[in-house]
Amino acid sequence: MNVLFFYESMNLGGQQTQTYNLIKRLARQGHRVSWLYLDGEGMQKLVAPFATLERIPVALPPRHYLYRPWKLPAITRRVARFAREHDIDVIISGSGIGSLLSGWAARRVGIAHYRLVGCSLVQVERTLHRNYRWIRIDSLIDGYFGWPAVFEELRMKGVPDRKFIEVDNAVDTDMFHPLPPESRESMRQSLGIAPDELAIGWVGRIAENMQVGNTVELGKRLRELGFHRFKLLLVGGGPWLDGVRQMSERYGLSGQCIFTDWVPMTDVNAYINAMDVVPLLEEDPQGGSIVREAMACGRVALSVDGESGTQRRFMRPHAAILVPPQNFIEAAADAVIRLAADQAAAQRLGNDARTFAVEHMSFEAQARTILDAIQSRSAAALR
């Protein structure tokens, strides 16, 4: 099969990491794979051995194109031309704007198009979700890969259940793995984290619609409770980086925050190993590669057991910490303080997290689910 992925950004992030891991598995199974993108740096060297990469040059950041729809046809034509010239069988998009562009291109060429859902549409793609029926985007998508909570959001907009294909959460346990204690301590020292300090981490895009702000709020709450032996290690960049810096200054956290901006993907494992606890905090989180990667590295992942139940699908009690959605910042702060007081318990959690990730969160299984669904539906369409 000849598969084209379309995701607009090549910066380090959860959707990019998942796309890379799927590409790698599909390529190793003998399938031809391509990735079209619009901007960003950081993932190209990892992806290039497994896929044909092509950048479509654009004059605006991708997120701005939803507000300038007259700019979209030119990008659609480029996607369609690539699909024709490379004999693409199916396009898999990874975002709202991507599903519009890929859907139009797929219909023009006469091939299938699936969306790999990587976020809650209600939380992250509010404009798209609000106008889902009006712009008739579902008519451009043959199937959705995701999980029950996002399927419920799509069901609210009239998407039929036959289009939903559930995939399990996954993490690359080869790329993300525990480092020896001496390597971990060396990394912490290079970052200015003292041996008796708890490192609380964030990895990924720093934007206002991400949960990084709540990680800083957690730091503020810890100080209010009289706990000061911590550092916030914020790995990543994005449009809100300066805003988060200013937020940390307002909260008196400047001396306890370490900002790295974007780092090479190959270095991320070492940064996660330098962390003690990795939170993903909001009222009802929807997965999050940040906590899965922390688990794979043997770190303590901390999140919220929201109404959808998404986190408890893979953050089991023996391998992670979940707090209730009511006053989740305060509950998370209490959990962090308890963790800091019991290093043996933290070590057990980290060890169990690594074991669970290796045994139950495989990208091989995820790739197989996606491929089987596409092939079976293609076969059914021919009958």
% the chain with pLDDT above 70: 97
Same domain for 283 and 353 = yes
Average pLDDT over residues 338-348: 95
**Token pair 């959001």: residue:** 153
Q: Please tell me the total count of domains within the chain.
A: 2
Radius of gyration of the chain (CA): 21
Return the closest-CA partner of residue 263 out of 236, 244, 242: 236
CATH of the domain at 226: 3.40.50.2000
277 in the same domain as 201: yes
- In order, the DSSP letters of 274-342 are T-SEEEE-SSS----HHHHHHHHTTPEEEEE--TT-TGGGT--TTTSEEE-STTHHHHHHHHHHHHHT-
- For the cut 60, the answer to whether the pLDDT of residue 382 exceeds it is no
- Both 102 and 221 in a single domain? no
- pLDDT band, very low/low/confident/very high, at 383 (cuts 50, 70, 90): very low
pLDDT of amino acid 120: 87
Q: Between β-strands 143-146 and 112-116, what pairing exists: parallel, antiparallel or unpaired?
A: parallel
pLDDT one-digit tens code per residue, 168-186: 889 999 999 999 999 999 9
Q: Is the same domain home to 166 and 228?
A: no
The mean per-residue pLDDT over the stretch 272-300 comes to 96
The answer to whether position 176 is within a domain reads no
Buried b (16+ CB within 10 A) or exposed e, 227-260: beebbbbbbbbbebbeebbebbeebebeebbbbb
Maximal CA-CA distance, the chain: 67
The pLDDT value given to residue 222 = 98
Question: Does 378 lie in the same domain as 351?
Answer: no
Q: Residue 175 falls within a domain, yes or no?
A: no
How does pLDDT run across 238-265, given as a tens digit for each residue? Answer: 999 999 999 999 999 999 999 999 998 8
Q: How confident is the model at residue 12, as a pLDDT?
A: 81
How many angstroms separate the CA atoms of 143 and 156, rounded?
A: 16
Mean pLDDT of 3-10: 96
User: What number is the average pLDDT over the span 114-136?
Assistant: 90
Range of the domain at 163: 2-170+362-382
Same domain as 159, residue 27: yes
Compute φ and ψ for 115, nearest 5 degrees: -110, 130
User: Count of residues for the chain?
Assistant: 383
| Same domain as 88, residue 144 | yes
Mean pLDDT, the chain, rounded, equals 93
Between 6-15, 193-202, 373-382, the lowest mean confidence (pLDDT) is in 373-382
Q: 14-28 and 363-382 are packed helices; what angle lies between their axes, rounded to 10 degrees?
A: 70
Q: In this predicted model, what pLDDT tens digit does every residue of 353-366 receive, in sequence order? A: 999 999 999 898 89
Tell me the mean pLDDT in the region 282-309.
Answer: 95
pTM of the predicted model as reported, rounded to 2 decimal places: 0.80
